[in-house]
Amino acid sequence: MNGTTLATLVLVDSEFIIGLYGNATEPVGPQNVSGLSLTESAWLIETERCRRMFAMIDAIAWHRTCAPNGQLDLLRAVPCPTSHLCAEEDNADRVIGRSQFTYTVQDLRQPR
């Protein structure tokens, strides 16, 4: 596939995901927002969770076009061009051989 981005792959750790899905050891039940059906309430709650998670990601992630001042290299446009590096990889020497991209672990205590 060449030239078409279908999705963006985001590499994040648990601090981002817990806000979206909650603690897996606690039961999650549907909540009703006044005046809405259970399905509408669930959609509204999920939408707000996503908004919060992506606000955190947007605050720190680097992207060549959208966030050139971002601090962390967390995003990859996928699929990458066939037999080439992903667009975000600007230094082929930092990519593991025969791979299209490499995420570098910057914090060994909390890898990203």
- Per-residue pLDDT of 10-25, as tens digits, reads 888 777 777 666 665 5
Residue 85, domain member (yes or no): yes
Residue 55, domain member (yes or no): yes
Residue 111, domain member (yes or no): no
Q: Using CA atoms, how far apart are residues 40 and 38, in angstroms rounded to an integer?
A: 6
Residue 12, domain member (yes or no): yes
Query: How many residues appear in the chain?
Result: 112
Model pLDDT, residue 30 = 56
Model pLDDT, residue 32 = 63
The 3-state DSSP class for residue 77 equals strand
Residue 109, domain member (yes or no): no
Residues of the domain holding 77: 7-94
- Cβ atoms within 10 Å, residue 101: 19
- Per-residue pLDDT of 14-63, as tens digits, reads 777 776 666 655 555 556 667 888 888 878 877 887 888 888 888 989 88
**Number of domains the chain contains:** 1
Residue 112, domain member (yes or no): no
